[in-house]
Every structure is written in C-alpha cells, then in structure tokens.
Chains A and B, each alone.
Chain A
Amino acid sequence: MANSPLVARPTDALQPSKSLPTSSGGTPSGGLPRSARGQQIAQQVAAQARPTMDLMEQMNEDEKNKYIKGKKLGEGTYANVYLGHSRLDSSIKVAIKKIKVQKEYQDGIAPDAIREMKYLQKLRGHANIIILHSVFSSKDQNLNLVLEYLPLGDLEMLIRDVDHVRYGAADIKAWMGMLTRAVWWCHDNYVLHRDIKPNNLLIAADGEVKLADFGLARSFADPGVRMTANVITRWYRPPELLFGARHYSGAVDVWSVGLVFAELIIRAPYLPGNSEVEQIALICREIGTPTEENWPGVTQLKEYTVPSDVVPVAGKEKYMGRFGAVGSDGVDLLAKTLILDPRRRITAREMLEHRWWKADPKPTPKHDLPKKTAGAEEKLAADLKRRNGMVEDDDVRGSKVARKLDFGAAR
C-alpha cells in the first residue's frame, strides 16, 4: 500500500440528502403540489445515484468490470466458483470464487475470506502460490476473489487415480520441490499456511504446483499470543497440535509436507485417523510415541494423552521398507519432516538445502510431469468452493472427517 489513494475527491454524493430536508421540511416554494415535488426529488436522486457513487464504490465497480464472469464451475455451501476471463484479453482466464454470505458472519466478512485475501496478497509473486488477481464485491455484498485459473486439478486427483496416472521418483521430487518452495516462501514471509494437503495443491496448465486455500493461514504469532490448535486437516495435523499446543511455529506445516510426501509415495493417506484420538494412536504406532525423552516438555501440553504401550521412534529402516522408492536420501528427508519434537523437526529452508534435491534422479521438468485433464475443472471448482480445513471425501473413511472451525472458542 505504497500510494495512499483514498484521498476522496469531493463528490456531490451528499447533495441530494442535504437538499432533501430543506425541501421536504420547508413550505413548498414552487407552485407544485407537495407529492409531485417529492416525486421529482426522488427521480433526481435516482438519476444522480449512479454517477455519484462514492469513490469506494466506483473503484469496486471498475475492478468488477475488468472481468467477465463465465459459466459456473461448481457450487458449494461456502462459495460458488465461476470461470471468467479478463475483459481486455479473453485469453487470460481466471477463476472467480464468490463467497456466500454466511449465517454466522452476517455482519462482516467471514474470517477465512479475510485470511485468504490478506495472505494471498502478502504472498504474491511466488511461482508456487496461487495468484489472487483481484477482489471485488458484487451485489448483495458478496465477496468475489479473482484467482488464477488452474485447469489441471490437484495433486490428490493424481495420487488417487492409480489406474490412469503413473509417476516415479523424479516426478515426486519435482512436486515436492514446488511444494517445499511454496511453504518456504510462506514461512520466510512469516505466514503459517496451516492447511497443507494434496487437494490444496492445485496444478497449473504448465504443470506447476500451486499452494492454494489460505483460509486458515495466519502470520507468526508473537510470544505469549495464543493460536488455535484446531487447524490443519486431521490426517495432516502434527502431534503438537493434536496435543493442544497454542504456541507453535512453521514446524506444523513441515509435518503436513512430510505427510504429503509420504502420500505421494504410497499413493494413499499415510495416517488417516478417523478421530483425533485415533490420529494420535496412528502417529504413535507408525512414527513413535512422544515421550519426555524424545520431545522435552511434551507431557506438559494440555491434551497430552498417548496409548499406554510406548512404541520407540521409528528408525530409518522402517521408513526404508515403505518409502524406499525415493531412495535413501529421500527417506532421510521424509524422516526429518516427521520428527516428533517440533523444535528438532527440519525447517522448510533446511528441507531445500537437503542433499536429496541434488541426488539422482533429477526432478522432472514441470511440463513433462504426469497430468490428468478429464474432470480437472470440476476438481478445481470443488477445491475452491470447499470450506477451509475440511476433507470432503465421500469414501467410507473420509465421510465423517468434516470439522467445523470454532473461532469463537479460540479467543
């Protein structure tokens, strides 16, 4: 916000209202009957309303007119998604996410919409973050986010389509590279994404993976400021959040990145817990039980509960067996992202400095990455219209995972 543009030109928007009391309150000065005069004024007001929209409305209108809304790609309870294009150049396609007025937040903008706008604006300029072209409000005070159009669906689609999509270690490395860069960019800009999962990783026409859905993002908190522990879709939620930590760092995103990595390799969610308790149990079983030895202070966390049978922290051999496809360097990186103690967990920057990127095979160039076109548009729509922080799988397992965020309780 370098330029301060809101020096409002004196408009005559207020004039009709100024003139109204005098004319309606005073005696009819002209020969016209009172009612006729009132009507005349009403017409006058109507005629002036358009050219004298206040500056804010004018700017909003201009912004709105830059885009032409096309067909509806999808409709959800939280938002509708439309395909659109720029008025000047119809080859510039955009996705317009029209956020519905929500019952809980009728007096203002829903917090997730605010977060999305704020952080997408802040994080602009990185190739792996979805671009927010513009924001405008349409009639009924609906908020419209004009987002980059990403026509090739998301990573989840590629992971799940075992029959038609095949990919190898080089492709995984390329995708992970893009994801890690996006997370690194967020963290270096002091933003926590807090909802990293395969279906928030959208794929652009050129194969570039873009991190989307910043509805749960926030900037790093100051010391002593409590953040909610109720973020990140459960399967990708790190143990510190499951234990109710209120002061955490970028390590929470790194855990999610690690689980996406694992999911890319085994092509199934690695830790699909049906409830938070089960999620903790899964983590304990697969990765190891958090104890004072491997995570100093963990027992002090508010909701620390672990199954009674303590499982030692998994060694590299255990991961090798299941994730060996990415080589020993890749497994090393994976194990470091899944370190229980968030203070010892690798950071996004350290991830990028890892030797795996330099090892063979080289990451696939982005335009050679496997892609899937059928159904991608619907998928984009589904991803954008979804409410943040929810899994909408219709599978048996995922059907009950949806979770409502309770922002009020976090205060």
Chain B
Amino acid sequence: MARPLDPLGFEDEMCPVCKSRKYLNPDIVFVFNPECYHSMCLNCANRLFNDGPNQCPHAGCNKTLRRKGFRSAFFGDLAVEREVDIRRRVAAVFNQVEEDFETLQDYNNYLQMVEDLTFELVNGTDERRRQAEAQLQAWEAEHRQDIERNKKAGREADEMSRKRLAAERDAARQRRIEAIKEAEEEKRERVRSREMELDNLAKGITTTTEPATKVQLKRRGQVNRVAEAAPNPAASAMATGASEVERLSIRGLKEKPKAPAPQGPYDPFGGMDFAPSRYKLHGGLTHPLIEKYRLDRQHVAGGYSFDDFAARALYEAFAGLGVFVEDEKEAGSASGIGLSQETTMAAGIAAVDDADRMDLD
C-alpha cells in the first residue's frame, strides 16, 4: 500500500506485475481496487481479471478482486485515496446536521465521536478497525430511517441552493438586458426629440424647444413610471425566488423532527429530591413536650401529623449547616433580575420579621 518515496513524482511508478514503468510506456494507466488499494497497470488488471475473480497479485495479499472494482486513482497517494473513500462512507452514514441536536455541545460531541471512529477505520490496528467497522454497521442498521431522511434533506438543501444560484444568475442576466434596453430606448428618444426639434425649426415654428423638451421630459417620466409600475421582471423573479427559498427553508425548519429527545420514563417528581442529606429521618420521633398532644383527640381527628413536626424540627435544626455566607453573597450579586432578599426586607421588614411571632391564626 505504501509507495516508496519518489522525489521525481510518479514517473517511476512501476507496475508490480509486468514491471513496466511510465518511463518505458508513457501511456501506462494505473488502477487499483478499493478492496486492498494495491495498484497495477490497466493492462495487467485486464489480463488477470478478465476471466473472473482472481487473487490480488501483490505478494502477501490474498484478497479476491474483480475487474469491476478497479478504478483509477484521483489522488496520487493511494493512502489518501483510501482515507477519502472511508470518509465518504462514514459521512454518508453519520449525516446528522447541527439542527438535529439540542445543544452545540451535543453536536460537537457527535462530531468528535465520528472523527474518532473515522480515525480508527483509517489508521487503527486490525483489531480496532474491525471494532469501528462493526460500530459503523450497527449504527447504520439502527438508524437507517434517520440516515435516509437526512440524506434526502441534504439533497433538498443542495437542490435549493442550486436553484437559488440559478435564480440569482438569471436575475442578473435580466437586469443586464433591462439596462441595455433602457439605454437604447433613451438613445432613440434623444434622436427622436432632436429630429422633432429640427422639424420644428424647419417648419418655422418658433416656440423654441420648450415643447420638445417637455415631451421628452414627459416621456422620460412615463418611462420611469412604467418602469416603476410594471414590476421589473428580474426583480420580481428574484423576489419570488427569495420568497420561495424563504418559505421552503421555513417549512424545512418546521418539518424537522425534534432531536431524538431522551424519551425517558416520566419522573413524577420532576427531577427533584428533597430528602435530607445530612441526617436520616426515623418514624416515631418524639419529645416529652409533645407527648400529651399525641393523645389529644383534636390533634388525632384533625389529622395533625407528628412526623411532619419531627421532620420540620430536624430540618430547621440542620438548615444552617450547609450555608456559607460568602458563597451566597457572590451568587446573590451575580444574579441580575431576581429577588434581592434585602430589598424585600426593606419593603416589609417589620412584617416579615414578625410574621412568625404574630401567629396570625
């Protein structure tokens, strides 16, 4: 696969089968098969593989090749040719676009993943290449629909940009034609007015050139007005083109299915948990002072919850432990819109402070 370095370029590339070179045979064409990327001259390839599949003639390569698979290289370096082939294949499978992702971060992660995989395929050891290949195929099998859809979307986008370019070119051409026409018209107009002037002079009408210029002015005005009224075909074409593009792209946006949102199970708690982290709550906590209330019928029948009381007492006892005044100060000044505690205090200081003691009910 690796070609010996050749400072003279490809002049000395030699067919490994018939040992002929460009030097000896200037018409020689080298071909290779993407099965193994071993090159040979076209003659040898025809000769060896015309009668059906055969083994690659390179020493130590036992791939079975077919005539059909051979093609000539675009790049001189077959390693590059191979990498480009691989990249093309990977890109056809991993054809998500940025809009498919919730965040830029996700998209970047995806690109990174694809690049890693590509690298494995290109430069990895046999083991890792196999692994990457398997991953690629698994993904392809799994996401066939997405891939198809993206492929189609990509084609549509290409089509659209081509259309837009064509429309723009067309519009430019139209504008040019218009400009030429207008210039000609103006020239004719000038000639005509000049003739009219001469005629008038010849007829001896001595009203000077005033009417003529008036006429001219009028005509010019008319031309302008006409030009204004009749929408410039080029411009309108451009406008419709633009609107079409716009509309299409908007529709495209709407049609775009939401990124494959993680359809996890519904979390009734909304991802929040309020379980105390600093202590564990056991049922049946009590205190001598509240013992008598436990038996009080009013408390029992009213549904008063002593466990809630115990939980609250513990919560309030531990509440201050996780607070670091300095941190909160910084966080507080960082948030822009929001309730500043001090201000609320300022507005209702006495009230809020006393609310606990007031015990309104």
Contacts and interface: CB of A to CB of B under 8 A. Distances in A.
A56 B346 contact: yes
Interface string B288-310: 00100110111111111110110
Contacts of A354: 268
Contacts of A47: none
Interface in A197-251: 218-220, 222-228, 231, 240, 243, 245-251
B359 A225 contact: yes
B351 A190 contact: no
A248 B308 contact: no
B306 A223 contact: yes
Interface string B270-300: 1010100000000000000010011011111
B315 interface: yes
Interface string B321-338: 001010011001000111
Interface string A104-145: 000011010111011001001011100011111100000100
Contacts of B359: 225
Contacts of A115: 355, 360
Contacts of A353: 268
B259 interface: no
Given A218-B360, A352-B268, A137 B355 contact: no
B301 A108 contact: no
B339 A133 contact: yes
Nearest to B297: A300
B349 interface: yes
B266 A177 contact: yes
A135 B302 contact: no
Given A3-B325, A249-B303, A251-B303, A134 B332 contact: no
A228 B361 CA distance: 5
Interface stretch (A12-20, A180-188, A262-270): A180-188
A151 interface: no
Interface stretch (A310-318, A356-364, A396-404): A356-364
Contacts, number: 189
Contacts of B270: 127-128, 177, 181
B339 A2 contact: no
A245 B301 contact: yes
A23 interface: no
A31 to B, nearest CB: 44
A50 to B, nearest CB: 17
A186 to B, nearest CB: 11
Of B268, B302, B341, which is in contact with the most chain A CB atoms at under 10 Å from its CB? Answer: B302
Interface stretch (A161-169, A280-288, A341-349): A341-349
A190 B308 contact: yes
B304 A5 contact: no
Given A111-B360, A218-B360, A245-B301, A223 B351 contact: no
A301 B301 contact: yes
B315 to A, nearest CB: 7
B262 interface: no
A2 B332 contact: yes
Given A6-B345, A135-B348, A247 B299 contact: yes
Contacts of B226: none
Contacts of B309: 220, 222-223
Contacts of A352: 268-269
Contact of B342 (A6, A223, A227, A247): A6
B344 interface: yes
Given A114-B348, A114-B352, A136-B343, A66 B302 contact: no
Nearest to A92: B337
Contacts of B243: none
Contacts of B317: none
Contact of B339 (A132, A143, A297, A410): A132
A345 B361 CA distance: 24
A343 B298 contact: no
Nearest to B356: A219
A51 to B, nearest CB: 18
Given A117-B352, A143-B348, A358-B266, A134 B306 contact: no
A60 interface: yes
Contacts of B304: 223, 247-249
B305 A249 contact: yes
A237 to B, nearest CB: 13
Nearest to A216: B361
B302 A181 contact: no
B240 interface: no
A240 B302 contact: yes
A60 B339 contact: no
B315 A190 contact: yes
Nearest to A67: B337
A88 interface: yes
A192 B304 CA distance: 12
A298 interface: yes
Nearest to A406: B361
7 contacts: A1-B345, A56-B349, A63-B347, A190-B315, A341-B303, A407-B360, A410-B361
9 closest A-B pairs (Cβ-Cβ)? A342-B303, A245-B302, A297-B301, A2-B328, A228-B361, A249-B305, A223-B293, A247-B304, A357-B268
Interface of B: 265-266, 268-270, 272, 274, 290, 293-294, 296-306, 308-309, 311-312, 315, 323, 325, 328-329, 332, 336-352, 355, 358-361
Given A134-B338, A296-B301, 17 more contacts: A6-B342, A60-B347, A66-B337, A88-B336, A89-B337, A117-B351, A121-B344, A128-B270, A135-B339, A136-B343, A180-B268, A181-B269, A185-B272, A188-B274, A223-B293, A247-B296, A296-B300
